Amino acid sequence: MSVRRVMGIETEYGISQPGDPSANPMLMSGRVVTAYARSLGLRAAQGGWDYADEAPLQDARGWAMDRQMADPSQLTDEEDPTMANVVLTNGARLYVDHAHPEYSSPEVSSPRAAVIWDRAGELVMREAVRLLNGPGMPPLNLYKNNTDGKGASYGTHENYLMRRLTPFADIINGLIPFFVTRQVFCGSGKVGIGTESQRAGFQLSQRADFFETEVGLETTLKRPIINTRDEPHAVTEKYRRLHVIIGDANHCDVANFLKLGTTSLVLGIIEAGAVTQDLTLAEPVAALQQISHDPSLKTKVALADGRTLTALEIQYAYLEMVQQWLEASYGNDLDAETAETVQRWSDVLDKLDTDPMSAAREVDWVAKLQLLQGFRDRGLEWSDPKLRAIDIQWSDVRADKGIFHKLAAAGRFEELVSADDVAAAVTEPPTDTRAYFRGRALSQFGANVAAASWDSVIFDVPERRAMQRVPMLEPLRGSKEHVGELFDAAGSADELLTALLTPGNGR
């Protein structure tokens, strides 16, 4: 095992219509999805998603929540014909989720690829805004952030495929201290303390104040540090999909890369039984917020064994365990991306430990704080509405309006992926996962695709009497290596299906 595993990022974008605070966010979000889909000739809200294998109430702890007890926001397996929903040719899903437009990236196999297709989502949303902001149209803005600063929070979720055999209790015990403390390098920064920014100040994470419990099935209420949704979108007996809801939307490539890469490595030591240090926190939710509220990174949080450690000390402990595991398992024979993840993890922790401001090229919250401190030096207090406005404007998706994008254009941040690769990822799927089959099916035979999901594509082909559902339960099959030649040779969807049903081909 290395840093490589099937993973992906889901981002709900903040949405607003300046000058009209009463604008309906669900209708606005539907406009975003529909406008982008129409520009590509795709159909939105016309049977675009296959809900057959959705199971949002199945709990990883061994039971399922009764539907009568579930909050309506949890019933993501119910099709709503009023909601815009489309699968893109890059294998991603673009749809309305909880009154926000959401871009769910295609499955990728590495943190660097995750950065590429997550940034591609920013371009998708930027284009949607451009399409909707024509002459005579009411302006509409999108923001890659996680809170409006007035009490609303919306998620940036990560997904990682794990081995089903790993006991879920080990996942909980191994991940909670890591998730509570990783915000030191992947927090995106927020002006205001508290869910409604009741107190003046600045904190590391936009999401930290919104978490209320350690473990649970919910995602929009009583938010847990560890989400227990057991919906693998893959072979159930073999895989578990870890659905991570405790994370911020990152703009900085390095922070985003480390968020995915370090989490994958920590999952590696959990799967291998190589968690050799007990870092159990006495009060994880309180510790999460205490750490977020202290940009000096000096706060010590209590462990269950009576020790007190800073977030950086806990992260160093995880880094040490990962290094020991990799050395014992692979020696010096590490793949380049694993070695890079470990090196960048160590380098960023060292910068944060020596002088947090020295990490401004890599870490979102540091870069934002550095900018805001410039305004503070001119006399603005943390309570000044101008600073909150700057915080929101930081994440505006428009290249000429978003503060992050303007600073990035000036070379203020370290970039790990090229603009050309990101632009290509807007339309092209990853080649090494089943997202390739999904995306290629949409781009080549879109008129014959009735619906799709993470683990299926349903074809409606005139030559066949019934719709044909192609299952894709193995996430690393359906790749270019497996089906690229079949697509190249197929002149129609019927020919593709005939080839797929030939023994030994594709799936």
pLDDT digits (tens, 9 = 90+) for 361-404: 999 999 999 999 999 999 999 999 999 999 999 999 999 999 99
Distance CA 469, CA 231 (A): 19
**pLDDT tens-digit readout, 236-264:** 999 999 999 999 999 999 999 999 999 99
Run of H or E including 495: helix 493-500
How would you class 469 by CB atoms within 10 Å of its CB: exposed for 0-12, middle for 13-18, buried for 19 or more?
A: middle
Q: Averaged over 323-338, what is the pLDDT?
A: 92
Alpha helices, DSSP H only, in 86-219?
Answer: 111-132, 168-181, 183-186
Of the candidates 185, 176, 315, the one whose C-alpha atom is nearest the C-alpha of residue 248 is: 185
Residue 492 gets the label, from left (phi > 0), alpha (psi -120 to 50) or beta, of beta
- Length of the chain counted residue by residue: 507
Q: Averaged over 15-35, what is the pLDDT?
A: 88
Token output for 403 = 């503060």
Is 0.95 surpassed by the pTM of this model? no
When comparing pLDDT for 63 and 202, which is higher? 202
Cα-Cα-Cα-Cα torsion 390, 8, 414, 347, nearest 10 degrees, comes to 110
Catalytic residue among 50, 97, 432, 455: 97
**pLDDT tens-digit readout, 128-166:** 999 999 777 778 999 999 999 888 999 999 999 999 999
Residue ranges and CATH numbers for the domains of the chain are 7-423 (3.30.590), 434-500 (no CATH)
Q: Please give the span between the terminal C-alpha atoms of the chain, in angstroms, as a whole number.
A: 24
Distance CA 442, CA 106 (A): 13
Query: Cβ distance 13 to 144 under 8 Å?
Result: yes
Q: Is 148 a catalytic residue?
A: no
- 3-state SS class at 471: strand
Cα-Cα-Cα-Cα torsion 450, 451, 456, 457, nearest 10 degrees, comes to 30
Distance CA 321, CA 342 (A): 11
